[in-house]
Amino acid sequence: MRKNIVAGNWKMNLKRDEGLDLINDVINLLPSDNKVEVVFAPSFIHLYKVNKMCLNLDKVNTASQNVSKEERGAFTGEISAEIIRSANVKYTIIGHSERREYFKETNEDLKQKVDVSLENNLEVIFCCGESLDQREEEVHFNWIKIQISESLFHLSSDDFRKIIIAYEPIWAIGTGVTASSDQAEEIHKFIREIIAQKYGDEIANNTSILYGGSCNPTNARDIFSKDNIDGGLIGGASLNAESFVEIIKSF
């Protein structure tokens, strides 16, 4: 059975004390009967301490925001999967739209990052999504299929079970344009269908697919009510404890 997951991607925000205060506040506000897996994705400087704070909590884990495609060596400024895993981090985010756009990461780069992450026992939150131009040109379904197939479909069935998909409608992030829950569900259903075509219904039905398009306490309940949406990769709303917990409680 697939998991419901709410992951908070802090991006390049929060100084050390601010980040630790946020973790404490979220932990204190979580409902005692929480059934959702909560994932914190802070900056690298926070990861070790945040993971220690979450280590003995049920259904609370950490993720790195990025990982190097190289295993080790003279790559100044990079952080390897081996180093991330040595801090007992469970997940890494790979393929976020900002990494693709600003750092020109290709599907082949992301394929290498997926492989090195799985080799080091890091589970992967893999991001995909389309721009406004691609949606308006009606090439978005094929674009998402290419992103997923070129970076993930070389994996064995056993390795694919360690993948979580996060769909990001790039056109609905910080643009003032809002994706409806029906639009989100349409893409999530499509993603599950292409996974089923490659790996079969059992794996497809057990793959968690998260929504990453400006999810907030106002729209979360409607979005999470859809059959193929299993949670959210939350950006700005994850920087406020009350907002983040309200999203978690939306299931």
**19, 15, 18: which is closest to 41 by C-alpha?**
19
Return the axis-axis angle of helices 181-199 and 140-152, rounded to nearest 10°: 40
Task: Give the active site residues.
Answer: 96, 168
Q: How far apart are CA 105 and CA 195, in angstroms?
A: 23
Residue 184 CB burial class (10 angstroms; 0-12, 13-18, ≥19): buried
Task: Give the Cα separation of 144 and 135 in Å (integer).
Answer: 11
Among candidates 19, 154, 162, 11, which has minimal Cα distance to 81? 162
